[in-house]
C-alpha cells in the first residue's frame, strides 16, 4: 500500500481532525499486503507469548465477535466454529495482518472498547482502555477531547449499519519495530537523530458498523515507513515540516518528539531544495 502523503499530511497547520471518508473496498482493506508473511508471523509470536496482553474479550463483545468471524469467513478465512470465543478471537488475530477493537454501546448508548486484538499498538495497551468511554480512551491526547470528543461519540452512534469509513493516523518512532506496547523497551527521539533513525508509524484505520450487534469494528492496519521516504518526496516533506512546526508543545510531547522537533524539521527541509 503506497501511502497517500497528501492525505496524511494536509497542506495546513496542525490540528486534530476527524479525517473520515467513506469506503466500500472492504476486501482490499483486509487483504494480505505482506508477501513475506512476516507481519502475520510476528502477530502469531506475540499472541502465543502473551495472549492476555495482546487480546481481550468481555462477554459484551461476543455478539460483535460472531459477526466479525462471519465477515472473515466471507473474505475467505477458515475459523473453527468449535473453538471458544477467545480462541476464535486469537484465530482472527493471527489470520489478519491488522489489529482490531470491538466497540459496543452500553445501556447509556456510549461506545466502549469491549474486546479485540492489538499486537502493534503505538504506545498504548488494550487492557487499559477496556470498557472505558472514548473520552477516557483519548484522555492522554492533549486537547483531543475538547476539539473532537463530542464528534467522535456522535459519529459512532450515528454510523449506519453496514457503513464503513477510513482515516489515517501518524506517529514517529526511533526504531522500526511494529510492537510498541508500553511494556516494551523504547529509545526516545531527541535532538541527536539523523534521517535513518526515524520511522513513521502509519495507521490505516477502518470503522465498520456491524448490522446485527451494532458493534463498531475498529481496524488498525499498521505500516512502518522510514522517514527517508518523506524526505525524498519534496511536497510531502514540506507539508510534514509545516505540521511539525505548528503542533502545540503538549501535543509534540505526547507524540514523543518535543526535543526532536527542530532536528526533524531540519531533516525535512534540506538546503539542497
Ligand atoms: C472516529 C474516530 C476517531 C478519531 C477522529 C480519533 C482520533 C485520534 C487522534 C487524533 C489520536 C491522536 C494520535 C496521535 O496523533 O498520535 C488518537 C489516539 C488514540 N485513539 Fe483515536 N480516534 C478515533 C477513534 C478511535 C477508536 C474507535 C478507538 C478505539 C479504541 C481509538 C483509540 C485511540 C487510542 C488508544 C489512542 C492513543 C491514546 C493513548 O495514547 O493512550 N480511537 N485518536
Please indicate, yes or no, if residue 42 is contained in any of the structural domains.
Answer: yes
Task: Check pLDDT > 60 for residue 222.
Answer: yes
pLDDT of residue 269: 87
Please indicate, yes or no, if residue 251 is contained in any of the structural domains.
Answer: no
- What does DSSP assign to residue 256? T
Distance from Cα 229 to the centre of ligand 1, integer Å: 25
Distance from Cα 82 to the centre of ligand 1, integer Å: 34
What is the number of structural domains in the chain? 1
Q: Is 144 in the pocket of ligand 1 (CB under 6 A)?
A: yes
Please indicate, yes or no, if residue 154 is contained in any of the structural domains.
Answer: yes
Substitution candidate for ligand 1 out of 16, 61, 118, 137 with most atoms within 8 A of CB:
137
Please indicate, yes or no, if residue 239 is contained in any of the structural domains.
Answer: no
Please indicate, yes or no, if residue 263 is contained in any of the structural domains.
Answer: no
Instruction: Please give the Cα distance from 262 to 273 (Å, whole number).
Output: 18
Q: Is 248 in the pocket of ligand 1 (CB under 6 A)?
A: no
**What's the chain's average pLDDT?**
96
* Strand-by-strand arrangement of the 216-226 sheet: 21-23, 164-173, 199-209, 216-226, 99-105, 111-117, 55-57
Task: Check pLDDT > 80 for residue 41.
Answer: yes
The arithmetic mean of pLDDT across residues 254-267, rounded, is 98
Task: Check pLDDT > 70 for residue 1.
Answer: no
Backbone φ and ψ of 172, nearest 5°: -120, 150
Among the atoms of ligand 1, which is closest to the Cα of residue 111?
27
Which range of residues forms the domain containing residue 53? 5-174+203-225
pLDDT digits (tens, 9 = 90+) for 146-166: 999 999 999 999 999 999 999
For residue 121, which of 82, 88, 169 has the smallest C-alpha distance? 169
Distance from Cα 260 to the centre of ligand 1, integer Å: 23
Task: Check pLDDT > 80 for residue 271.
Answer: no
Instruction: Please give the Cα distance from 215 to 111 (Å, whole number).
Output: 9
Q: Is 17 in the pocket of ligand 1 (CB under 6 A)?
A: no
pLDDT digits (tens, 9 = 90+) for 98-156: 999 999 999 999 999 999 999 999 999 999 999 999 999 999 999 999 999 999 999 99
Please indicate, yes or no, if residue 272 is contained in any of the structural domains.
Answer: no
For residue 27, which of 188, 150, 189, 208 has the smallest C-alpha distance? 208
Please indicate, yes or no, if residue 115 is contained in any of the structural domains.
Answer: yes
pLDDT of residue 270: 67
pLDDT range class, residue 2, cuts 50, 70, 90: confident
Please indicate, yes or no, if residue 240 is contained in any of the structural domains.
Answer: no
The arithmetic mean of pLDDT across residues 43-71, rounded, is 98
Look at the block and give the residue holding cell 514523543. 256
Distance from Cα 149 to the centre of ligand 1, integer Å: 10
Amino acid at each position: 500500500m503506497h501511502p497517500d502523503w497528501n492525505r496524511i499530511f494536509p497542506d495546513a497547520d496542525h490540528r486534530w481532525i476527524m479525517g473520515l471518508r467513506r469506503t466500500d473496498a472492504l476486501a482490499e482493506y483486509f487483504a494480505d499486503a505482506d508477501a513475506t508473511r512476516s507481519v502475520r508471523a510476528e502477530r502469531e509470536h506475540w499472541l502465543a507469548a502473551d495472549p492476555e496482553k495482546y487480546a481481550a474479550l468481555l462477554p459484551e463483545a461476543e455478539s460483535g465477535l460472531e459477526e466479525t468471524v462471519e465477515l472473515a469467513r466471507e473474505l475467505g478465512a477458515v475459523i473453527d466454529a468449535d473453538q471458544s470465543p477467545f480462541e476464535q478471537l486469537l484465530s482472527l488475530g493471527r489470520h489478519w495482518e491488522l489489529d482490531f477493537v470491538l466497540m459496543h454501546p452500553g445501556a447509556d448508548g456510549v461506545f466502549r472498547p469491549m474486546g479485540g486484538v492489538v499486537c502493534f499498538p503505538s504506545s498504548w495497551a488494550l487492557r487499559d482502555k477496556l470498557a472505558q468511554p472514548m473520552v477516557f480512551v483519548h484522555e492522554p491526547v492533549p486537547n483531543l477531547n475538547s476539539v473532537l470528543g463530542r464528534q467522535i461519540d456522535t459519529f459512532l452512534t450515528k454510523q449506519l449499519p453496514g457503513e464503513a469509513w477510513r482515516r489515517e493516523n501518524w506517529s514517529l518512532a526511533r526504531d522500526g519495530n511494529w510492537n510498541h506496547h508500553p511494556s516494551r523497551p523504547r529509545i526516545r527521539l531527541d535532538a541527536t537523530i539523523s534521517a535513518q533513525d526515524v520511522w513513521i508509524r502509519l495507521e490505516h484505520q477502518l470503522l465498520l458498523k456491524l448490522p446485527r450487534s451494532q458493534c463498531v469494528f475498529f481496524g488498525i492496519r499498521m505500516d512502518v515507513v522510514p522517514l527517508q521516504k518523506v524526505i525524498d518526496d519534496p511536497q510531502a516533506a514540506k507539508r510534514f515540516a509545516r505540521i511539525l512546526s505548528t503542533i502545540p508543545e503538549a501535543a509534540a510531547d505526547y507524540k514523543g518528539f518535543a526535543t526532536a522537533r527542530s532536528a526533524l524539521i531540519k531533516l525535512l527541509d534540506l538546503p539542497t531544495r
